[in-house]
Amino acid sequence: MFSICLGPRALAALASLAAACSLAHAQADPSTARIVITAARVEQALADALPSTRVINRQEIEAAQAADLPALLRMLTSIDVGQTGPMGSQASLFLRGGDSRQTLVLVDGVPLQRADFGTASWQHLMPEQIERIEIVRGNLSALHGAQAVGGVVHIVTRGPSAPQVDLALGSRGTQGASFAGGAAMGDPSTPTRLSASLAWRRTDGFSARDAAVDPTANPDRDGARQVGGSARVDQTWAAGHRTELALLATRTRSAYDGFAPGLDDVLTTQVQAAGLKSRHAVAPGLQLVAELGQSSERFDDPTGFAVSGRNRVSLGGLQLGWSVAPGHDLQLGAETRRERFVDSGTPDRTRTTDSLRMAWLGRPAAGWQTQLALRSDDSSDFGRATTGLVALAWQWQPSLKLSAQWATGFSAPSFLDQQFAAPGVLLRPERSRQGELALQWSERGRSLRAAAFVQRQRDRVAFDPVTFEAGNIARASNRGLELMLQTPVPFDADGVLTSDVTLQDPRDRDTGLRLKRRARASAALNYVTRFAQWHSAAALRHTGKRLDTDPLTFGDADNPSRITLDLSLSREIVPGWRLGFKVDNATGTDTPEVLGYTAPPRSVMMSLQGRWR
């Protein structure tokens, strides 16, 4: 195994690289804009991906002018997001009704996961570091292993681009600045591509906990500061031989409201990730891919239950791809993953998981596609878990495709689950089965994907109310419908409407109660248009009523439905320079995402972006 440490000096080095990249730049290849890698673990066109896949590209990220990553996903998707305060506060993702720990978050192919809780600290990643986000819904454990039950969120760091600077100034003392650039050098047949980004943001914030609901809450403002950088090196050695190295580092210092009145609670978190991928054509139709990666997190929380802690996930693997015949590809893969966590209150713990997998992508007849995957994970903690995926699609017209999918998945018990299990009891992984039927339509700039799904979970880890010990004692189910639409607007020649809608019924199968913080209906509607020299956008987000925990009695309580509206304007003031304005929560909605925590109030942001072409 190997380790990385990207501290302040490393961030300074990333800044130097970003500045160096501005001396010569290369535009990103437009042909890569519709290529995805998460749905099959190989590069494929987005239209060929059989699992439900949504891509948020760099253009959408910049147009959204989102303050942080939770705000970005809240605006552009119907995924349930629950955040307990302003920027840097703990945030949860609920894909297809799964728990937050049942969503696998990757950064350049490397898992971003804390082994103690089993969740990812994705709220510390900055939009300025991101090139694109691939969101794949549904069981993908047969491809990606543990935690990929609700789906996978794959964050890809910035690639080569023209040098760009962004400045921002907003309400509640919000300020931000970022720089990104890229360069290509060397022989055009064997180029070296470099790219880097550096970003900084601060805010005075607002009180994380709502003193009007909980009188013990500290009513002071909870501010935050973030600084982050990313770097990427892409080297082509010869035709069919290419190596990529991606680095990311962030440092977040965020105030929060704990449960001891009068204390100034401040959490400092450093998140780092490094991924190395090397592809080699070893023979005609045969490609070998080697991967090494590591993510780490270090936190300091002087007033918390654990005053400090460290987490590290290391990954290494090989994949052999064989093009057996035109349209038929076989993949064989092996990888090893090591997780380690230690904090001031618990001893050092480690877990090693070795995996073997096999996958097939085929076109058995004209208009037909198949995807098969089988994977076996052998853990030092919970033993063996075997998962599979079967998908079939039929394109009976050029614009229409019907697909069906069945898959199994699993989520590994966290270290905290195991710590609170009964003495001598070895917790089993949580198991999931899911079926999906989808219809895709695409024609002349319009696209629609409708997917009906059903999911069953067993062996869910829960606390026994009698013994107060963790055990595999719970079951859950979900069924629903997802709609993704993009279409020009008939009455507006420049208008484009996109929508992402989720209708579902996630429940505890034993009690019949709804699963907490998961809405039965969620929708994100985005409308962009242009008038005169101005580009304008409106983002309407609806989150339906959901079950939550009362902050005073700790009993079950309903959190009312929540609707927010974000508005933005931008225009080019001189060639290469664009001025932007953004209003978040324009209607001033005060319904919280999480009961007992303050809803983000209305805020205003002004930005200036410069790009050298």
What is the average per-residue pLDDT within 383-402?
95
Task: Tell me the average pLDDT across 222-231.
Answer: 96
**pLDDT tier at 425, thresholds 50, 70, 90:** confident
Q: In the Cβ-directed half-sphere of 347, how many Cα atoms lie within 13 Å?
A: 4
- Secondary structure class of 140 (helix, strand, coil): coil
**CA–CA separation, 216 and 209 (whole Å):** 9
Other CB atoms within 10 Å distance of the CB of residue 27: 11
What mean pLDDT is predicted for residues 442-458?
94
Task: Give the Cα separation of 157 and 271 in Å (integer).
Answer: 14
- Distance in angstroms (rounded) separating the CA atoms of residues 94 and 84: 15
Residue 19 has pLDDT above 70, yes or no: no
* Residue at 154: amino acid letter: H
Tell me which of 208-222, 266-280, 520-534 is least confident. Answer: 208-222
**How many other C-beta atoms lie within 10 A of the C-beta of residue 300?**
16
Q: Categorize the per-residue pLDDT at 29 as very low, low, confident or very high, splitting at 50, 70 and 90.
A: very low
Residue 11's pLDDT band (cuts 50, 70, 90)? very low
Is pLDDT at 383 greater than 70 in this prediction? yes
Q: How far, in Å, CA of 13 to CA of 7, rounded?
A: 10
Q: Which residues pair with 373 in a beta bridge?
A: 359, 389
Structure confidence at residue 23 as a pLDDT band (50, 70, 90): very low
Question: Percent of the chain scored above 90 by pLDDT?
Answer: 79
Q: Per-residue pLDDT tens for 506-521? A: 999 999 999 999 999 9
Grade residue 320 by pLDDT with cuts at 50, 70 and 90. Answer: very high
| Mean predicted confidence (pLDDT) in 93-119 | 93
Q: Yes or no: say if 351 and 145 are a contact pair by the CB < 8 Å rule.
A: no
Q: What is the pLDDT of residues 494-506, one digit of tens each?
A: 999 999 999 999 9
Q: Give the per-residue SS3 of 240-252.
A: CEEEEEEEEEEEE
Which residue did the predictor score with more confidence, 214 or 108?
108
CA–CA separation, 353 vs 410, rounded Å?
13
**Calpha distance 88→296 (Å, rounded):** 17
Compare 504 and 468 and report the one with higher pLDDT. 504
Q: For residue 422, what pLDDT is reported?
A: 85
Label residue 588 exposed, middle or buried (CB < 10 Å: 0-12, 13-18, 19+): exposed
Largest CA distance in the chain: 70
**CA–CA gap between residue 299 and residue 268 (Å, rounded):** 6
Contacts of residue 565, defined as CB under 8 A and 6 or more positions apart, other chains included, come to 538, 539, 540, 541, 585, 586, 587
Q: What is the pLDDT of residue 233?
A: 96
Residue 12 has pLDDT above 60, yes or no: no
pLDDT of 263: 75
Task: Give the residue among 500, 476, 522 at the shortest CA–CA distance from 81.
Answer: 522
Is the model's pLDDT at 20 over the cut of 60? Answer: no
> In a 3-state reduction of DSSP, which class is residue 280?
strand
Contact 329, 358 (CB under 8 A): no
Q: Is the pLDDT of residue 32 over 80?
A: no
Dist. CA 287–CA 278, nearest whole Å: 10
Q: What is the mean pLDDT of residues 192-204?
A: 95
Instruction: Look at residue 22 and tell me whether its pLDDT is greater than 60.
Output: no
Question: Between these two residues, 470 and 259, which has the higher pLDDT value?
Answer: 470
Check whether 30 has a pLDDT greater than 50.
no
Domain spans, the chain: 18-611
Residue 22's SS3 state is coil
Q: What's the pLDDT score for residue 468?
A: 77
How much is the mean pLDDT over the chain? 91
pTM listed for this prediction = 0.92
Does 160 have pLDDT greater than 80? no
pLDDT band at 259 (very low <50, low <70, confident <90, very high): confident
Q: How many whole angstroms from its chain centre is CA 267?
A: 22
pLDDT of residue 3: 43
**Exposed, middle or buried: residue 450 (CB in 10 Å: 0-12, 13-18, 19+)?**
middle
Cβ density class 38-47: b for 16+ within 10 Å, e for less: bbbbbebeee
**pLDDT tier for residue 345 given thresholds of 50, 70 and 90:** confident
Residue type, 193: R
CATH class of 18-611: mainly beta
Q: How far apart are CA 542 and CA 101, in angstroms?
A: 24
Helix (H) or strand (E) holding 71: helix 69-76
Cα–Cα distances in angstroms (integers) from residue 187 to residues 184, 193, 235, in the given order: 9, 11, 11
Confidence of residue 35 (pLDDT cuts 50, 70, 90): confident
pLDDT at 15 over 80: no
State the sign of the Cα–Cα–Cα–Cα dihedral 14, 19, 24, 28: positive
How does pLDDT run across 70-96, given as a tens digit for each residue?
999 999 999 999 999 999 999 999 999
Lowest mean pLDDT among 33-42, 197-206, 368-377, 486-495: 33-42
Backbone angles phi, psi at 407, to 5 degrees: -155, 155
